[in-house]
Amino acid sequence: MVILLNCSFRGEKSNTRYFLGQLETLLNEPCRHAALNRIKEEQERAELFSDADAIVLGMPLYVDGPPAQAVEFMERLYEEGRGRLKRIPVYVVANMGFYESRQLHILLSVVKNWCARLDLSYGGGLAIGAGEMMGGLGKIPLDQGPNKEMGQGLKKLAAHIGKRTDTEDLYVEPTGFPRRLYLLAAGMSWGRQAKKNGVKRKEIKRRR
């Protein structure tokens, strides 16, 4: 069984959950979704590994690294599970609001180093740039339009998960959608969000 562990604070409403769901459609084997914010006890953490043949950690980028609750999870497992966890491959599906997916390399390195310290097998990761945009394109097939590169990355990762083999880290961004247009769209969304929260546009632009 493949455990798809959602490490986002936003839970079921997160882009992370969407990307893990897309990955699940490409895996020809039983999968189980789990939410990190619902796992509190040592026994629950250990059971994730005893039940799994592979684990996929899904998470957004927070301050150039994993979210705080993902860091806590990794630290607790290091304290509790050294030498006691079943050696299984760990994969990562990471996303972020920035366009450039390469900025996720630190997050992937953190997970890779954690796996090495716990004697787990790091299977590789998929880094998705412009995650806020890509997470909202569910109506577009994975092999078309802006989703094309991401779809290829998910399929490649799914193939390695199915064989329990390692892959190099994969970095993907919106296909055929330039960075300048993404920044323009992101700027417009800030204005809408500010209006929704009662903040005037001139207050956003005001220098501090």
Q: Do 76 and 100 reside in the same domain of the chain? A: yes
Write the pLDDT tens digit of every residue in 141-155: 988 999 999 999 999
Is 101 in contact with 172 (CB distance < 8 Å)? yes
In the DSSP assignment, the letter for residue 46 is H
What's the CA gap between 192 and 178, in Å, rounded? 22
Q: Do 66 and 153 reside in the same domain of the chain? A: yes
User: Residue type at 187?
Assistant: G
Rounded to 5 degrees, φ, ψ at 31 are -130, 155
Cβ neighbour number for residue 130 with a 10 Å cutoff: 26
What's the CA gap between 144 and 178, in Å, rounded? 16
Q: Do 123 and 136 reside in the same domain of the chain? A: yes
The percentage of residues in the chain with a pLDDT greater than 70, rounded to a whole number, is: 88
Q: Do 98 and 62 reside in the same domain of the chain? A: yes
Whether 194 has a pLDDT exceeding 60, the answer reads: yes
Q: What is the pTM of this model?
A: 0.88
Is 59 in contact with 101 (CB distance < 8 Å)? no
* Residue 193's pLDDT band (cuts 50, 70, 90): low
pLDDT, position 50: 81
pLDDT, position 190: 63
Tell me how far CA of residue 112 lies from CA of 17, 70, 108, 139, 190, in angstroms. 21, 14, 6, 33, 34
Helix/strand/coil for 166:
coil
Query: Domain range holding 208?
Result: 178-208
What's the CA gap between 1 and 86, in Å, rounded? 14
Is 137 in contact with 22 (CB distance < 8 Å)? no
Q: Do 112 and 156 reside in the same domain of the chain? A: yes
Q: Do 116 and 200 reside in the same domain of the chain? A: no
Q: Do 165 and 205 reside in the same domain of the chain? A: no
Q: Do 191 and 89 reside in the same domain of the chain? A: no
Is 92 in contact with 153 (CB distance < 8 Å)? no
Q: Do 92 and 162 reside in the same domain of the chain? A: yes
What's the CA gap between 196 and 175, in Å, rounded? 30
Give the total number of structural domains in the chain: 2
Query: CB-based burial of residue 114 (10 Å sphere; 0-12 exposed, 13-18 middle, 19+ buried)?
Result: buried
The percentage of residues in the chain with a pLDDT greater than 90, rounded to a whole number, is: 59
What's the CA gap between 75 and 84, in Å, rounded? 15
pLDDT, position 2: 95
Q: Do 169 and 185 reside in the same domain of the chain? A: no
Q: Do 112 and 80 reside in the same domain of the chain? A: yes
Write the pLDDT tens digit of every residue in 3-23: 999 999 988 889 999 999 999
